[in-house]
Amino acid sequence: MFLSAFLPARCSLSARFFSSSPKFKTIKLTDKPQFPLLKHSATVFSNSGFHNILLDERLLLTPFGNTLSTSSLSLANLIRDEFVAKANQLTRFTDLPYTLLLSNSLDLTNSDRLDHVKKLKESIRTDTVLFFEKVDWPSHMASAIPDLDHLSDSKLDSLRDFDLNLIQNFFFNPVLELFSSSFSVSELVTSDNISKTPHQSPDTLSFINSFLDSLNPFQLVSTLSTHHNLKSTILTILFLKGLISSHRALRVSRIEETVQSSHWGVTDTFELEEANILSQLDRCLNFYKLNS
C-alpha cells in the first residue's frame, strides 16, 4: 500500500519509519550541487516494504531532510538508474525527474496540498480547451485536416488553408465530448471571449472537485506537473485516466503554437520544447500509476 496519509509539517512517514533501520551517513538532494551527488555506486536499500536510495552508501534525503523512500520497488529502481546515468556529473533537479517527483511528494505539507488543490479547482475557469469560437462546418472538411499527433512538414503545410477557430473546433470538441461521456457529466460550457468565464454545471464541478480531493500526495504532484505542461484540467484528467495519449494531449494544448508554426516554420526550439514536454508527461503518468 502506498503512502496516502497527508504528512505533517516537513516530516514524512518514511523518515519516522527508517529511524529504527541501520544508520547511514546521509546526503541531501539539492539543485546545482557543488560536487557530484554520486561518484561510484547507487543502490536500493529495502526494509519492510519501503525502498530507499543509497548513493555511495549514503542515504538520500529530500531538500527538506525527509528520507527519500517509496513503497514501489519499480520507482526506486528508476530513481537509482537516474543517478547511475549522471554519475560523476553535476546535476540539476531537471536531470532527475522521477527523483524530483518523489521528493516533492514527500516534502508536501498538508497546507501545501490544500493550496494546490484549491488552485487546481479554480483553474477550470481558464482552461485552455474551453476558450474558442464554435463554428458550423461541413463534415467532409474533417478529412482535410491532418492528424497532428506526430508533426511533419506536409501536415503543417495543409493547416495553412484553415482558420484557427476551425482547427480548434476540430480538436477541442472531441476532447470535450470525451470528457463528458467518460465521466457522465453535463456538456462542458465554453466561451468565445477570453474575458467571459464559462461556468460549468454543478455535476461537472462536483466530479472535478472529487477527483482532485481524492488524490494522494504522489498523485497530486503528478497532476500538478501535468497541468503545468498542458494548461488544462480537462486534458490533465483525461490523460491521467488513460483516455488520451501524451501526443494528442500535447497537440490539443498547443494548437495555437502549432498553427503558428505552419506559417512560420518549425524551429529547433519548438521541437526541443515539445520533446521535453512529452518526456515530462510520460514520466508523470508513470509516476501517477506507480502510486495509485
**Lowest-pLDDT range, 41-45, 135-139, 282-286?**
135-139
CA 102, CA 271: separation in Å to the nearest integer? 28
More confident residue, 154 or 247: 247
Same domain, 55 and 126: no
pLDDT at 247 (0 to 100):
97
Q: pLDDT averaged over the chain?
A: 91
Q: What is the mean pLDDT of residues 157-185?
A: 93
Determine which of 18-27, 180-189, 197-206 has the lowest per-residue pLDDT on average: 18-27
Among candidate residues 42, 62, 93, the one where a domain is terminated: 93
Structural domain includes residue 275? yes
Bigger pLDDT: 146 or 54?
Answer: 54
The x, y and z cell numbers of residue 161, run together, are 488553408
Residue 230's CATH number: 1.10.3580.10
The whole model's pTM is what?
A: 0.89
Same domain, 221 and 141: yes
Tell me if 25 is assigned to some domain: yes
pLDDT over threshold 70, residue 16: no
Residues 38 and 160 in one domain: no
Amino acid at 57: E
What pLDDT sits at residue 268? 87
Comparing 163 with 247, the larger pLDDT belongs to 247
Note the pLDDT of residue 21: 58
Task: State whether 66 and 185 are in the same domain.
Answer: no
Cβ-based neighbours of 88, under 8 Å, separated by 6 or more: 36, 38, 39
279 and 186 part of one domain: yes
DSSP string, 231-249: --HHHHHHHHTTSS-HHHH
Is residue 145 very low, low, confident or very high in pLDDT (cuts 50, 70, 90)?
confident
pLDDT in tens, 129-139: 999 999 887 77
Note whether 83 and 197 are same-domain residues. Answer: no
76 part of a folded domain: yes
Which residue range forms the structural domain that includes residue 173?
A: 111-290
Q: What is the pLDDT of residues 83-125, one digit of tens each?
A: 999 999 999 999 999 999 999 999 999 999 999 999 999 999 9
Name the domain count of the chain: 2
